[in-house]
């Protein structure tokens, strides 16, 4: 067989179910206290610093990391449960989500010890927010075309250039970014980029918000002018960022956030059709639930493989490809099925408001964090076509 | 599961490789490969995998049997292996011993019903029964005034209207008219027609997933051989993206089917969680059969549309298997009703139950 894709049927261990109960109870309390409204998914530009600290106090940030950095040394499957429960509840996770999923693990792997000791515990306490500086005005999916320069100077580097589409840069305390330290070589066009830790909110960095089609301001342009980064903020090998990018992808691409982004409209549709749906509604809901269930089982399976120390890069890309296309189509399918919902359905207004937002959100889902086209290229490589 | 990881699957794969090479059997217009293949499978005890030793079977676990069905799907062979396994499983639920030879189950559709009359005879019509024409016995789930019963019936006692499904395999209408069974026993508590349909549906899901794995495999291979516009077609981005989507459909089918099999193999009862798993598997695998099969054909072009080429052995059978034990439309309606009756706030707890 050329393909040999594996999706072993992982069952979540018992301790995950106990944890799930704790997370649900915590979220119910937060909802009751008015921290957020689970029916209102407009969390993208909501910043909830106090909520973030309370999640940290629960021990649910950096949960898989070593204890000496503030982590809990728990499993990826436990982290999975926390992530999916937060997502389904529409909890305001923006402030900590990137740091917990992506930035923390990069620091764990590449940062010097004193920086790990300084920053990781603060991520675990929910105190700091991270952004990721990848895209530039002329370099999106083609990461290795990045031009923002890091020029060697005494004790560090001077940064000049512009990052763009940078989510949360307006609230972020740190950014992990790639900058150009050398020109690419003839043999390797990916050579010459270096990963850096950048402390935000300093002179030399200007963050300009960019309005999105949802009406929100959630991503930004970030302009660096002679901004100084000290030597110990280099993450990993100088000129060698390309070697470091790929192993993160499995974590980034296969989580529950890759198919649950618009999930709330399905819940609300089920509420709107009531306990005795007509055949058309029943069939539509049944298919959507079957597709959702399948994706979740695939995603849990990848989490299980990560826990077992494997690097299921192709499987993770498949989860993101199928998952994001699904969550993009979901509001439109729900809209189809909601066309004949009774005028008297009590949640009709909520559903319509949610659909309005989800339909505007949908186009970005197959672009952010690796476009569908890039993902299919990775899958094709895994199949031996490239 | 692209590699075998248990002895039952290894045995089956060796037999299939030796006696059911797809190109050889595709060229064989007289189907002379069928009898030796069935004999070898029977001698290895595979058709009665799910029948305990004391009832005449080989007593494999549910999990091993499901893995065997996935392997059988990868070879897409036209012998009643899945059907005989299901029949043996059904009979074993009522402690009825399995006879030798090919069997199948009735009914094979959730819309049909066989009734048990007061005199102990069976009546009713079952449509779309796979391999009824060549079966020696039927395992029948019947309903009488005291609930469900399981019966072993001599296939000669039924009236058979022969038919073929989309994949050119026998899919027949069986009519029982006051037929006296060989053996009849009450079904155990909790086993009803829905249970049988879910078991059959998961069997078909695993076969579809297996067929899709093979379709992906031969499509990738073909794209790396076929040259057009002076390069291998695998180098065209449009073809690569199509194959990536086929990989996604194959992966989704495999994940849904093996997850459902695992759920049933470890379940104490056919509760809502198992229902979600099994119904979802049939729905998602049927969708994958359509989407994935279409891509496999697109990659192959005209050659894949010929009888000489092996592709149709997988693509058409995967499409045909959608119809057995409840189509995806049937299960979607039933699953949708279940979800609606539980209520909106119980949807996520159901999905997140495993």
What CATH number does residue B118 fall under? 2.40.110.10
CB pairs under 8 A between A and B: 194
* B:253-272 residues touching chain A, CB 8 A cutoff: 254-256, 258-259, 261-263, 266
| Residue whose C-alpha is closest to residue B254's, from A375, A5, A384, A288 | A5
- CA A114, A116, A118, A121 dihedral sign is negative
Which residue has tokens 């005028």?
A343
ipTM: 0.96
Task: Please tell me the distance from the alpha carbon of residue A200 to that of residue A170, in angstroms, as a whole number.
Answer: 9
Task: Give CA angle at A45 (A40, A48), nearest 5°.
Answer: 80
In this complex, do A5 and B2 lie within 8 Å of one another by their Cβ atoms? yes
* Mean per-residue pLDDT of chain B: 96
Domains of chain A: 14-128 (1.10.540.10), 132-240 (2.40.110.10), 254-382 (1.20.140.10)
Residues of B in contact with A27 (CB under 8 A): none
Q: Which two tokens stand for residue A24?
A: 């649900």
Asked whether A273 and A344 are in contact (CB, 8 A), the reply is: no
Asked whether B108 and B125 are in contact (CB, 8 A), the reply is: no
| pLDDT number for residue A2 | 46
In this complex, do B347 and A266 lie within 8 Å of one another by their Cβ atoms? yes
Q: How far is C-alpha A52 from the chain's CA centre?
A: 16
B318 close contact with A: CB closer than 8 A: no
- Which residue of B62, B211, B225, B255 to mutate against A (max A Cβ within 10 Å)? B255
- Domain ends where: B157, B175, B190? B190
Q: Which two tokens stand for residue A271?
A: 């509420």
- Furthest C-alpha separation in chain A: 72
In this structure, the answer to whether residues B149 and B274 fall within a common structural domain is no
Q: Which secondary structure element, helix H or strand E, spans residue A159, and what is its range?
A: strand A156-167
- Domain ends where: B77, B110, B129? B77
B17 close contact with A: CB closer than 8 A: no
B247 close contact with A: CB closer than 8 A: yes
Residues forming beta bridges with residue A150, ordered by sequence position: A159
Phi, psi of A376 (to 5 degrees): -65, -30
- CA B328, B331, B337, B342 dihedral sign is negative
In this complex, do A379 and B247 lie within 8 Å of one another by their Cβ atoms? yes
* CATH number of residue B312's parent domain: 1.20.140.10
In this structure, the answer to whether residues B135 and B235 fall within a common structural domain is no
- Which residue of A24, A262, A264, A297 to mutate against B (max B Cβ within 10 Å)? A297
In this complex, do B340 and A276 lie within 8 Å of one another by their Cβ atoms? yes
| pLDDT number for residue B121 | 98
Asked whether A102 and A132 are in contact (CB, 8 A), the reply is: yes
In this complex, do A267 and B280 lie within 8 Å of one another by their Cβ atoms? no
Q: Using the 8-state DSSP alphabet, how is residue A342 labeled?
A: -
B125: containing domain: 101-190
Task: Please tell me the distance from the alpha carbon of residue A54 to that of residue A141, in angstroms, as a whole number.
Answer: 36
Residues of A in contact with B336 (CB under 8 A): 277, 281-287, 289
Three-class secondary structure of residue A13 per DSSP: coil
User: What is the DSSP secondary-structure string of A187-244?
Assistant: S-TTTTEEEEEEE-SSTTEEEEEEE-TTS-EEEEEEEEEEEEEEGGGEESSTTBHHHH
- Quick check: is B185 in a domain? yes
| Interval B300-318: pLDDT, tens | 999 999 999 999 999 999 9
- Which residue of A283, A330, A382 to mutate against B (max B Cβ within 10 Å)? A283
In this structure, the answer to whether residues B200 and B337 fall within a common structural domain is yes
Annotate B240-284 with three-state secondary structure: HHHHHHHHHHHHHHHHHHHHHHHHHHCCCCCCHHHHHHHHHHHHH
- Quick check: is B249 in a domain? yes
| Interval A31-45: pLDDT, tens | 999 999 999 886 555
Task: Please tell me the distance from the alpha carbon of residue A147 to that of residue A163, in angstroms, as a whole number.
Answer: 9
Q: Using the 8-state DSSP alphabet, how is residue A139 labeled?
A: B
B274 close contact with A: CB closer than 8 A: no
In this structure, the answer to whether residues B150 and B177 fall within a common structural domain is yes
- Quick check: is B288 in a domain? yes
Question: B22-51 burial by CB neighbour count: b if 16+ within 10 A, else e?
Answer: beebbeeeeeebbeebbebbbeebbbbbbb
| Residue whose C-alpha is closest to residue B88's, from B53, B138, B50 | B50
| Interval B71-82: pLDDT, tens | 999 999 899 999
Q: Which secondary structure element, helix H or strand E, spans residue A162, and what is its range?
A: strand A156-167
* B:187-216 residues touching chain A, CB 8 A cutoff: 213, 216
Residues of chain A with pLDDT under 70: 1-3, 42-45, 245-251
- Domain ends where: B44, B77, B110? B77
Give the gap in angstroms from C-alpha B344 to the nearest C-alpha of chain A: 5
Asked whether B132 and B150 are in contact (CB, 8 A), the reply is: no
**Residues in contact with B230: Cβ distance below 8 Å, sequence separation at least 6, in sequence order:** none
- Quick check: is B84 in a domain? no
pLDDT by residue for chain B (354 residues), tens only, comes to 444 568 999 999 999 999 999 999 999 989 899 999 999 999 999 999 999 999 999 999 999 999 999 999 999 989 999 999 999 999 999 999 999 999 999 999 999 999 999 999 999 999 999 999 999 999 999 999 999 999 999 999 999 999 999 999 999 999 999 999 999 999 999 999 999 999 999 999 999 999 999 999 999 999 999 999 999 999 999 999 999 999 999 999 999 999 999 999 999 888 999 999 999 999 999 999 999 999 999 999 999 999 999 999 999 999 999 999 999 999 999 999 999 999 999 999 999 998
In this structure, the answer to whether residues B56 and B155 fall within a common structural domain is no
Give the gap in angstroms from C-alpha A17 to the nearest C-alpha of chain B: 9
B231 close contact with A: CB closer than 8 A: no
Residues of B in contact with A273 (CB under 8 A): 340
* C-alpha distances in Å from residue B204, one per residue of B209, B271, B285, B286, B325: 9, 20, 9, 9, 8
In this complex, do B335 and A322 lie within 8 Å of one another by their Cβ atoms? no
Phi, psi of A182 (to 5 degrees): -145, 165
- Quick check: is B83 in a domain? no
Q: Which secondary structure element, helix H or strand E, spans residue A178, and what is its range?
A: strand A174-180
Give the gap in angstroms from C-alpha B156 to the nearest C-alpha of chain A: 39
Q: Using the 8-state DSSP alphabet, how is residue A276 labeled?
A: S
Give the gap in angstroms from C-alpha B336 to the nearest C-alpha of chain A: 4
In this complex, do A284 and B331 lie within 8 Å of one another by their Cβ atoms? no
Q: Which two tokens stand for residue B122?
A: 């069976």
Task: Please tell me the distance from the alpha carbon of residue A24 to that of residue A30, in angstroms, as a whole number.
Answer: 10
- B237, B252, B354: residue with CB nearest A322: B252
What number of CA atoms fall less than 13 Å from residue B32's CA on the CB side? Answer: 5
In this structure, the answer to whether residues B186 and B205 fall within a common structural domain is no
Structurally, chain B folds into a number of domains equal to 3
Residues forming beta bridges with residue B184, ordered by sequence position: B151
Percent of chain B whose pLDDT exceeds 70: 99
Task: Please tell me the distance from the alpha carbon of residue B248 to that of residue A317, in angstroms, as a whole number.
Answer: 9
- Quick check: is B87 in a domain? no
In this structure, the answer to whether residues B167 and B238 fall within a common structural domain is no
In this complex, do B216 and A2 lie within 8 Å of one another by their Cβ atoms? yes
Task: Please tell me the distance from the alpha carbon of residue A293 to that of residue B200, in angstroms, as a whole number.
Answer: 20
Residues forming beta bridges with residue B174, ordered by sequence position: B126, B160
- Quick check: is B342 in a domain? yes
Task: Please tell me the distance from the alpha carbon of residue B137 to that of residue A356, in angstroms, as a whole number.
Answer: 58
Find, in chain B, the residue whose alpha carbon is nearest to that of A1. B217
Task: Give CA angle at A91 (A86, A92), nearest 5°.
Answer: 125
| pLDDT number for residue B282 | 98
In this structure, the answer to whether residues B32 and B126 fall within a common structural domain is no
| Interval B128-164: pLDDT, tens | 999 999 999 999 999 999 999 999 999 999 999 999 9
B279 close contact with A: CB closer than 8 A: yes
Q: Which two tokens stand for residue A143?
A: 């990461």
| pLDDT number for residue A45 | 56
Residues of A in contact with B217 (CB under 8 A): 1-3
* Strand B147-154 to B137-144 pairing: antiparallel
Find, in chain B, the residue whose alpha carbon is nearest to that of A273. B340
Annotate chain B with three-state secondary structure: CCCCCCHHHHHHHHHHHHHCCHHHHHHCCCCCCHHHHHHHHHHCCCCCCCCCHHHCCCCCCHHHHHHHHHHHHHHCCCCCHHHHHHHHHHHHHCCCCCCCCCEEEECCCCCCCEEECCCCCEEEEEEEEECCCCCCEEEEEEEECCEEEEEEEEHHHCEEECCECCCCCEEEEEEEEEECCCEEEECCCCCCHHHHHHHHHHHHHHHHHHHHHHHHHHHHHHHCCCEECCEEHHHCHHHHHHHHHHHHHHHHHHHHHHHHHHHHHCCCCCCHHHHHHHHHHHHHHHHHHHHHHHHHHHHHHHHHHCCCCCHHHHHHHHHHHCCCCCCHHHHHHHHHHHHHHHCHHHHHHHHCCC
Give the gap in angstroms from C-alpha A301 to the nearest C-alpha of chain B: 8
Q: Which two tokens stand for residue B111?
A: 């819309």
- Quick check: is B28 in a domain? yes
Asked whether B331 and B111 are in contact (CB, 8 A), the reply is: no
- Which residue of B202, B233, B244 to mutate against A (max A Cβ within 10 Å)? B244
| Residue whose C-alpha is closest to residue A376's, from B227, B295, B286 | B295
Asked whether A369 and A245 are in contact (CB, 8 A), the reply is: no
Residues of A in contact with B240 (CB under 8 A): 376-377, 380, 385-386
Task: Please tell me the distance from the alpha carbon of residue B1 to that of residue A6, in angstroms, as a whole number.
Answer: 6
In this structure, the answer to whether residues B157 and B227 fall within a common structural domain is no
Task: Give CA angle at B243 (B241, B244), nearest 5°.
Answer: 60
In this structure, the answer to whether residues B197 and B288 fall within a common structural domain is yes
In this structure, the answer to whether residues B201 and B174 fall within a common structural domain is no
Task: Give CA angle at A148 (A140, A379), nearest 5°.
Answer: 30
Phi, psi of A142 (to 5 degrees): -85, 75
In this structure, the answer to whether residues B176 and B230 fall within a common structural domain is no
């Amino acid at each position: 067989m050329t393909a040999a894709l594996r999706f072993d049927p992982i069952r979540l261990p018992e301790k995950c179910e106990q944890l799930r109960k704790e997370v649900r109870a915590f979220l119910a309390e937060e909802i009751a206290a008015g921290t957020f409204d689970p029916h209102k998914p407009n969390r993208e530009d909501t910043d909830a610093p106090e909520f973030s600290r309370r999640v940290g106090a629960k021990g649910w940030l950096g949960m898989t990391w070593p204890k000496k950095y503030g982590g809990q040394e728990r499993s990826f499957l436990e982290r999975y449960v926390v992530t999916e429960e937060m997502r389904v509840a529409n909890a305001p996770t923006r402030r900590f989500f990137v740091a917990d999923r992506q930035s923390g693990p990069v620091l764990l792997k590449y940062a010097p010890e004193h920086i790990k000791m300084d920053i990781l515990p603060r991520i675990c306490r929910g105190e700091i927010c991270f952004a990721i500086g990848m895209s530039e005005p002329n370099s999106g999916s083609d990461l290795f075309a990045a031009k923002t320069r890091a020029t060697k100077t005494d004790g560090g580097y001077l940064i000049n250039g512009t990052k763009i589409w940078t989510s949360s840069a307006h609230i972020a305390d740190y950014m992990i970014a790639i900058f150009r330290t050398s020109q690419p070589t003839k043999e390797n066009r990916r050579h010459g980029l270096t990963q850096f830790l950048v402390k935000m909110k300093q002179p030399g960095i200007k963050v300009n918000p960019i309005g999105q089609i949802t009406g929100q301001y959630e991503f930004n342009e970030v302009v660096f002018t002679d901004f100084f980064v000290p030597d110990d903020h280099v993450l990993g090998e100088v000129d060698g960022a390309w070697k470091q990018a790929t192993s993160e992808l499995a974590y980034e691409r296969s989580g529950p956030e890759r198919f649950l982004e618009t999930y709330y409209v399905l819940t609300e549709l089920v509420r709107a059709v009531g306990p005795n749906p007509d055949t058309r509604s029943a069939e539509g809901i049944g298919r959507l639930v079957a597709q959702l269930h399948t994706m979740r089982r695939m995603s849990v399976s990848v989490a299980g493989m990560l826990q077992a120390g494997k690097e299921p890069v192709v499987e993770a890309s498949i989860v993101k490809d199928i998952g994001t296309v699904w969550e993009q189509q979901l509001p439109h399918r729900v809209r189809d099925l909601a066309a004949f919902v009774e005028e008297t359905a009590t949640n009709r207004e909520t559903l319509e408001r949610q659909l309005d937002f989800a339909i505007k959100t949908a186009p970005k889902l197959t672009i952010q964090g690796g476009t569908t086209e890039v993902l299919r290229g990775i899958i094709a490589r895994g199949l031996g076509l490239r | 599961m692209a590699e075998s990881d248990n002895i039952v699957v290894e045995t089956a794969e060796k037999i299939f490789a030796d006696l059911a090479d797809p190109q050889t059997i595709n060229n064989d217009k007289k189907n002379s490969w069928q009898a030796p293949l069935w004999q070898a499978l029977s001698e290895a005890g595979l058709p009665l995998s799910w029948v305990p030793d004391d009832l005449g079977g080989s007593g494999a676990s549910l999990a091993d049997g499901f893995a065997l069905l996935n392997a059988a799907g990868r070879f897409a062979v036209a012998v009643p292996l899945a059907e005989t396994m299901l029949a043996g499983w059904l009979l074993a639920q009522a402690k009825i011993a399995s006879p030798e030879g090919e069997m199948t189950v009735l009914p094979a559709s959730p819309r049909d019903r066989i009734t048990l009359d007061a005199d102990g005879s069976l009546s009713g019509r079952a449509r779309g029964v796979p391999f009824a024409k060549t079966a020696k016995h039927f395992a029948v789930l019947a309903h009488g005034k005291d609930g469900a019963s399981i019966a072993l019936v001599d296939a000669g006692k039924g009236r058979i209207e022969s038919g073929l499904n989309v994949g050119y395999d026998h899919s027949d209408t069986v009519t029982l008219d006051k037929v006296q069974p060989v053996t009849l026993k009450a079904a155990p508590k909790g086993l009803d027609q829905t249970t049988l349909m879910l078991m059959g549906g998961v069997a078909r899901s695993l076969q579809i997933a297996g067929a899709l794995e093979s379709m992906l495999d031969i499509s990738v291979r073909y794209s790396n051989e076929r040259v057009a516009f002076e390069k291998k077609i695998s180098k065209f981005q449009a073809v690569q993206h199509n194959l990536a989507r086929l990989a996604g459909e194959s992966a989704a089918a495999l994940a849904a089917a093996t997850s459902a099999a695992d759920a049933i193999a470890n379940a104490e009862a056919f509760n809502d969680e198992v229902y979600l798993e099994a119904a979802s598997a049939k729905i998602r695998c049927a969708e994958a059969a359509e989407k994935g099969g279409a891509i496999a054909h697109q990659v192959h072009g005209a050659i894949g549309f010929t009888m000489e080429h092996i592709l149709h052995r997988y693509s058409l059978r995967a499409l045909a298997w959608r119809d057995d034990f409840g189509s995806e439309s049937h299960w979607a309606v039933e699953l949708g009703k279940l979800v609606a009756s539980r209520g909106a706030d119980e949807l996520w707890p159901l999905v997140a139950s495993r």
